[in-house]
Chain A
């Protein structure tokens, strides 16, 4: 009266390919647990420390993409977020370079370290997005890039002899910059987010928020939220992925009140009240980037980096990537084998 692991019904034909083991295991595992009460300290809670040590040793990858029209302060914001010169503009690229005629994808990788934690941060910039006269389908190169990274990972995952740690270039987070018009979202914004929210975690931010007063900001945010809802755009954190009640309560608050974050970026420091702060200097005052009464940068930073970074990666891996993989494996060879167009092509398949 029990079903061994070999008996488990296979949902997909793919797994039926793996032939049944000739004999069932002698005694199958019973997954339901019996509660055993411990009579003394054993030390199984040390696994937390063990795990922490291991992760610190392997380090972390994080890939963040920024999308928005030219001049919205994308590179500055990323530099501010990570308190270092990590964006494209800072890495020796010509500051005065022309706006490209088509959307380009430029990825820059850096290693940053803090408190013993090593992170390989990759910032993916998308110059040219929304800058043309005719912007039809300008999200396509971006969607293509995102899917290419899933493809790369999948290829590595299905290898027979595979790497101990598959290099992760998948986009974990996409910051979408909304122009602070004060009115509503533009059609391009809606189109982009509609298409891409299904394949990647999108976090909309209102750029250059220092051009709006507090009331204008609140109203604009409300309008944007409404519009996103009306258009069925699920931005991160997506409602359907809330894991438990605690998550839901926490995320509901963020979704319904804080987002989209109205931010200001700066990599310049000024002296304010005896402290050195990051800010923007104007004739009428210094806008302190990390001051919550001035703008919501600190909220964005805490959200993306200090509380939800790991979750962004997990949603990307467990949901977006799995969706891509399932779709890819289901298509009966209908899709031509995708060619990966990055310059790293030459190093594959060797």
Chain B
């Protein structure tokens, strides 16, 4: 085979060909397929995670309210089918439950990390299958992690730092300050600066809105400077002026959710959904997932080819491992079968024993019964004999009596006759 054109040169077109419709063709296929977007909300109880989600997606998500009765950190997940114009979105929202409630929070981050890893694992397993259906796979990997920071106004809690550090290589983290109507404007600025510097000094990599595409570079660049976003959530609508708006009413005033002077909610929505949703998905797949996959495969002992090994050594390693694994499986199966046979034998013996006992019991009872019956019959017979004997005597006695009477009667008759 001869290949020419490694350093491909651009060739001019002499007319309209029509492949400029390619992006449309691709997009149409994706639209027909539908999209997936998965958000993870990490934050302490009471920071308004569910309310914020309701506000972001302009809907009241039905879900059972979280029960905070479990001891450790739990993750609750719900999937919703949303539709807007011709876009079908499968939105999955995962929230932590009970995060930060424990006395000892050393292991609080673990369930979260495990959950994220589990989604990568599921995808990896599908990817490694021989017969796989990747293009129809329901992608459950987390595309964005909203980290809710409590509005203390001071600094990040150590739990926050530890958790974010553990998550930053696994997921796109977007830190937000929750319930930010609790902080005044000046305190907020100081708070944001403090948070950002703490994140930097601890080496926490949060998600940066991409600035490589000129069309979005400017807006993304500006937004990057506003992180962490100070947000407020509310699903209640109040009449302000002559419009209905999402707001929170206080005796001293009304906080409008979508007023950029009041909070950064609009910025969050813009960045998360309207500008960077696709980038978040792409980063998850090309960066975080690849990292997970690489580490996992290396952990399992796979290596890429070294200079002088055969071209497909991964397959050979696979084969070796697979045979090893199958061998183990067979051994286990054999052991199980032996055990099963053994158990069956034991059970069988037990049953036989029981059967024997039953038979003996039955025989005994039967004999008892027969004895009893015989006794009864004997008694009956003797009773019958007595009755017969009695009857005989009675008959005999009666006969005698009647004879005697007759004799006496005829004598009386004779006497009477003589008297006459």
Measured CB to CB, the residues of A under 8 A from B are 4-6, 8, 10-19, 21, 23-48, 50-57, 60, 62, 81-86, 91, 104-117, 119-120, 122, 145, 148, 155, 158-162, 164, 243-244, 278, 301-302, 305-311, 314, 318, 322, 325-326, 328-330, 332-333, 337-344, 348-350
CB pair A326 B131 closer than 8 Å: yes
CB pair B82 A44 closer than 8 Å: yes
Given contacts A104-B2, A155-B312, contact A27 B11 (CB under 8 A): no
Interface hits, B1-58 → A, CB 8 Å:
1-6, 8-27, 29-32, 35, 37, 56-58
Q: How far is the CA of A155 from the CA of B75 in the complex (A)?
A: 38
Within the complex, what minimum Cβ distance (angstroms) separates A264 from chain B?
16
Which residues of B have CB within 8 Å of A160? 293-294, 297-298, 302-304, 314
CB pair B14 A83 closer than 8 Å: yes
- Apart from A51-B26, A318-B135, what 9 extra A-B contacts exist at CB < 8 Å? A30-B77, A48-B87, A104-B1, A108-B4, A109-B5, A162-B290, A330-B130, A333-B319, A343-B2
CB pair B2 A107 closer than 8 Å: yes
CB pair A54 B278 closer than 8 Å: yes
Q: Which of B111, B121, B325 contacts A21 (CB 8 A)?
A: B121
Q: Which of B4, B5, B8, B17 contacts A81 (CB 8 A)?
A: B17
Q: How far is the CA of A34 from the CA of B322 in the complex (A)?
A: 40
CB pair B130 A14 closer than 8 Å: yes
Q: Which of A109, A113, A116, A338 contacts B311 (CB 8 A)?
A: A338
Within the complex, what minimum Cβ distance (angstroms) separates B306 from chain A?
8
Which residues of A have CB within 8 Å of B8? 109-111, 120
CB pair B25 A307 closer than 8 Å: yes
Which residues of A have CB within 8 Å of B416? none
Q: How many residues of chain B have a CB within 8 Å of chain A?
A: 116
Q: How far is the CA of A145 from the CA of B1 in the complex (A)?
A: 8
Q: How far is the CA of A266 from the CA of B276 in the complex (A)?
A: 45
23 residue pairs bridging A and B, Cβ less than 8 Å apart? A5-B119, A5-B122, A12-B130, A16-B325, A17-B322, A18-B296, A19-B300, A21-B121, A25-B118, A27-B115, A34-B62, A38-B59, A53-B215, A83-B14, A109-B3, A160-B294, A161-B294, A314-B29, A326-B130, A339-B311, A340-B311, A341-B1, A349-B305
Shortest beta-carbon contacts, A-B, top 6: A115-B20, A5-B122, A109-B5, A33-B81, A50-B278, A310-B25
Which residues of B have CB within 8 Å of A120? 8
Q: Which of B2, B22, B87, B325 contacts A47 (CB 8 A)?
A: B87
The answer to whether B350 has its CB under 8 Å from any CB of chain A is: no
CB pair A46 B2 closer than 8 Å: no
CB pair B20 A116 closer than 8 Å: yes
Q: How far is the CA of A19 from the CA of B299 in the complex (A)?
A: 11
The answer to whether B326 has its CB under 8 Å from any CB of chain A is: yes
The answer to whether B114 has its CB under 8 Å from any CB of chain A is: yes
Which residues of B have CB within 8 Å of A6? 118, 121-122
Select from chain B the residue with minimum beta-carbon distance to A276: B15
CB pair A28 B90 closer than 8 Å: no
Within the complex, what minimum Cβ distance (angstroms) separates B234 from chain A?
13
Within the complex, what minimum Cβ distance (angstroms) separates B416 from chain A?
115
Measured CB to CB, the residues of B under 8 A from A are 1-6, 8-27, 29-32, 35, 37, 56-62, 73-87, 89-90, 92, 94, 111, 114-115, 117-119, 121-122, 124-126, 128-132, 134-135, 138, 140, 213, 215-216, 269-270, 273-279, 282, 286, 290, 293-294, 296-298, 300, 302-305, 307, 310-312, 314-316, 318-319, 321-322, 325-326
Q: Which of B31, B74, B85, B278 contacts A26 (CB 8 A)?
A: B74
Which residues of B have CB within 8 Å of A158? 312, 314-315
CB pair B315 A333 closer than 8 Å: yes
CB pair A82 B119 closer than 8 Å: no
Which residues of A have CB within 8 Å of B114? 21, 23, 25-26
Q: How far is the CA of A85 from the CA of B124 in the complex (A)?
A: 43
Within the complex, what minimum Cβ distance (angstroms) separates B151 from chain A?
25
Which residues of B have CB within 8 Å of A122? 5
Which residues of A have CB within 8 Å of B131? 11-12, 322, 326
CB pair B130 A329 closer than 8 Å: yes
Q: Which of B32, B135, B290, B312 contacts A337 (CB 8 A)?
A: B312
Select from chain B the residue with minimum beta-carbon distance to A115: B20
Select from chain B the residue with minimum beta-carbon distance to A56: B23
Q: How far is the CA of A200 from the CA of B129 in the complex (A)?
A: 22
Q: How far is the CA of A257 from the CA of B149 in the complex (A)?
A: 64
Q: How far is the CA of A46 from the CA of B275 in the complex (A)?
A: 7
Which residues of A have CB within 8 Å of B307? 349-350
Given contacts A26-B74, A111-B11, contact A310 B31 (CB under 8 A): no
Q: How far is the CA of A330 from the CA of B319 in the complex (A)?
A: 10
Which residues of A have CB within 8 Å of B85? 45
CB pair A44 B319 closer than 8 Å: no
CB pair A26 B115 closer than 8 Å: yes
CB pair B32 A243 closer than 8 Å: yes
Q: How far is the CA of A34 from the CA of B60 in the complex (A)?
A: 12
Which residues of A have CB within 8 Å of B75? 25-27
CB pair A306 B59 closer than 8 Å: no
Given contacts A84-B14, A109-B5, contact A46 B274 (CB under 8 A): yes
Which residues of A have CB within 8 Å of B270? 43
Q: How far is the CA of A158 from the CA of B300 in the complex (A)?
A: 14
Which residues of A have CB within 8 Å of B126? 15
CB pair A105 B1 closer than 8 Å: yes
Within the complex, what minimum Cβ distance (angstroms) separates B12 from chain A?
6
Select from chain B the residue with minimum beta-carbon distance to A16: B325
Within the complex, what minimum Cβ distance (angstroms) separates A6 from chain B?
6
Q: Which of A18, A41, A119 contacts B121 (CB 8 A)?
A: A18
Which residues of A have CB within 8 Å of B31? 48
Given contacts A29-B92, A301-B18, contact A40 B314 (CB under 8 A): no
Which residues of B have CB within 8 Å of A328? 315
Which residues of B have CB within 8 Å of A41? 58, 84
CB pair B273 A43 closer than 8 Å: yes
Which residues of B have CB within 8 Å of A341? 1
Given contacts A14-B129, A301-B18, contact A47 B29 (CB under 8 A): no
Q: Which of A35, A42, A81, A83 contacts B56 (CB 8 A)?
A: A42
Q: Which of B6, B23, B300 contacts A18 (CB 8 A)?
A: B300
Which residues of B have CB within 8 Å of A17? 128, 300, 318, 321-322, 325
